[in-house]
Amino acid sequence: MENAIKILNLSLQKPATEDEIKELETATGKNLPGDFKELYLWHNGLNDQENFGSLFYGMDFFPVSRIIEEYRYKKEHYASENIPLKKADKEIDSASMYNTDWIKFAFDGSHTSLLIDLTPASQGTYGQIIFIDDEYETGILVANSTAELIGKFKNDLENNLYQLDEDALEDENHYLTADKTIDIVNWETSEIWNR
């Protein structure tokens, strides 16, 4: 991240407040895991006004207000849609791709997202982090917790598995791109994620 100065200094927002986190819990009707709250008490997502940046796997990292907005939109427009996932890891309840207890907090801008799963399958863990590709109706377990996601992200950064996107650099933006070995957005061509 030391090379992504604009993400550090311009994109990452100040910490969320306890009141904002409580507002999210009230909106979803769920208690959020402590490590997920800690993530937002570190930084309240990304702001793209001065730098169009990214974070986990090269995705946008939502502020609390955007999480609430996305949650309310899904609940209003998709709660009654029961389209099952065609492919999902055993830890994920595959009954509905639009499960309202999957809280989206990161997005690639197209068809894939990272979500905190608050209703896992019996083999899963409350608060696990899942990846959903709504185009291919696929769910992948990314991490058993937010803390594990952060640990993987830190390890991948230290192992130079993120680079600054060259096209974004031409526009003077610092935007992280995941190395193809860890790129979950393109999971279907990945040795790690296509299982």
pLDDT score for 11: 83
Residues whose CB is less than 8 angstroms from the CB of residue 54 and which lie 6 or more positions away in sequence, other chains included: 7, 46, 60, 61, 175, 176, 177
Within a 10 A sphere around the Cβ of 135, how many other Cβ atoms?
A: 9
- 115-127 residue pLDDT tens: 999 999 999 999 9
> What are phi and psi for residue 88, nearest 5 degrees?
-155, 145
86-95, 153-162, 163-172, range with the lowest pLDDT: 163-172
Looking at residue 8, what is its pLDDT? 83
pLDDT at residue number 29 = 96
Q: What is the mean pLDDT of residues 97-101?
A: 95
For residues 169-190, average pLDDT: 90
Give the C-alpha separation, 128 to 168, whole Å.
31
Q: Report how far residue 41's alpha carbon sits from residue 182's, in angstroms, rounded to the nearest whole number.
A: 27
- Residue 3: pLDDT over 70: no
> How is 103-150 classified by DSSP, letter by letter?
EEEEE-SSSEEEEEESS--TTS-TTEEEEEETTTTEEEEEESSHHHHH
Please state, rounded to an integer, the average pLDDT across all residues of the chain: 93
Confidence category of residue 2, pLDDT binned at 50, 70, 90: low
Residue-level pLDDT at 187: 95
pLDDT tops 90 at residue 7: no
Residues 33 and 36: their CA atoms lie apart, in Å, by: 5
Q: Phi and psi at residue 46, in whole multiples of 5°?
A: -110, 150
Q: Under 8 Å CB-to-CB from 70, ≥6 apart: which residues?
A: 62, 104
- Per-residue model confidence as pLDDT tens digits over 9-21: 888 899 999 999 9
The percent of residues above 90 in pLDDT, for the chain, comes to 78
Gyration radius of the chain over CA positions: 16
Which amino acid is it at 9? N
Higher pLDDT, 169 or 123: 123
pLDDT in tens, 22-37: 999 999 999 999 999 9
pLDDT value of position 68: 98
Give the pLDDT confidence score for residue 167 in this predicted structure.
84
- Identify the burial level of 40 via C-beta atoms within 10 angstroms of its C-beta, where 0-12 means exposed, 13-18 middle and 19 or more buried: buried
Owner of token pair 């096209």:
167
